[in-house]
Structure 1
Amino acid sequence: ETAISLGQILGVDAIITGSITNLGKNVKINARLISTETGSVFAVASVNVLKDSTIKLLMGESISNSANNTSNPSQIPQHSGLKAPVVNHGIQFELKECFFTNGFLTTIFEVTNLDMDKEVSFYDRAKNGYARIIDDKGREFRSPQQFLGTHKQGWNGIENVTMVQDVGTQYTLKFPNVKSKPSTVKRLDMLLFIPDLQNYFTITFRDIPVE
């Protein structure tokens, strides 16, 4: 009766109700559409949203600025990798190691899905895009061997792997035919494909020290 009364007052056909639950890194939103003619629920939806700076502001959470971070080391975001993590469409890449041995340059990442469970693919080649590195000598190396957890590279890469929310998985790239050790990888590109979005995304790291 309340929904019907509100519908008459507001002159609308439906009312949206729901809840927002704070899950730490994410926010869960539950929504229901209620008909103002019958008072019954005719549609429901639920989604997890990555809590970025915009969402934090909407929820009234404070966000420290860069000036405060500089003056107060305890406010500087901490990470255990060689470089700051890169996040693209809810998939976080944190570089853990980069080393040269026996003609291979190997990079090891921890990849974490910060969003809802989803399928992803890590391609070696697609639409003329390749996983590659360019070192401080200007040399470019492509077509690495790839490993994601227990998944090994197929013809095009690692395809259709289900990544569970907030579970970190080791992702290894081994670039062959590196005849001498570089001191720095100036650029590293990886190719991420998300089937739900039917789109490719390039993940880039720069100025990586080589052990």
Structure 2
Amino acid sequence: MGAPTNTRWVAVVPVKALATAKSRLAAGSPEHRQALAGAFAADTISAVRSVSNVELVLVICGDRRLAQTFVAPGVTVLDEPEPSGLNAAATAGINWATSRHPAAGVVVIPADLPALRADDVDAALLLAARHPRAALADREGVGTTMLTGLPGSPPRPRFGADSYAAHLADGAVGLDDSGLDRAVRDVDTSHHLSQVRLLGVGAATGRVLDAG
């Protein structure tokens, strides 16, 4: 199944509360780790909202103070009433998006892609528009950095251990990641962070790293 290249999208970005975010990231004090997690989210959202065919970025966040930092034109922030994990937050966003923007595709993007750029998202969505549902693997081929669904075929989130395999088993088509290095570099560990620093990170992450 194909779709016009001008497919419009709603991007759902679930954001964890800082107190529980990036627990595997050995990056100094807990305060520094939390600052990095917030910066990763800010840079991810900034990149996505700059994509011309993303008509809305929907941020799902149960941390109200953090959520207020994401308010911007083209961004809607929804409270996560019962923090129940990434899949529950993503599903809440998908349901909201499909009920209010039924003619748009939906892409779920986890908020830990600090090297992401708008052209990376644009290229991935161009590929995704060819399939009812699709998934982009992380660099290790284990996790998922984008999960998409066209109108009438909303994404079905299966985030967690081996999520990419779970999404493929559930019918999503795997996307070719050629030229999408920034889009597959999520950050869970200090090694991941070192890798994205070589690629170049967004402004918010750069400020936190510079502050040390």
When you count helix as a share of all residues, which structure comes out higher? 2
- Normalised-by-shorter TM-score class: under 0.3
Structure 1-normalised TM-score?
0.23
Task: Indicate the structure whose relative CO is greater, using CA pairs within 8 Å and at least 6 residues apart.
Answer: 2
Structure 2-normalised TM-score?
0.23
Larger Rg, first or second structure (1 or 2): 1
When you count strand as a share of all residues, which structure comes out higher? 1
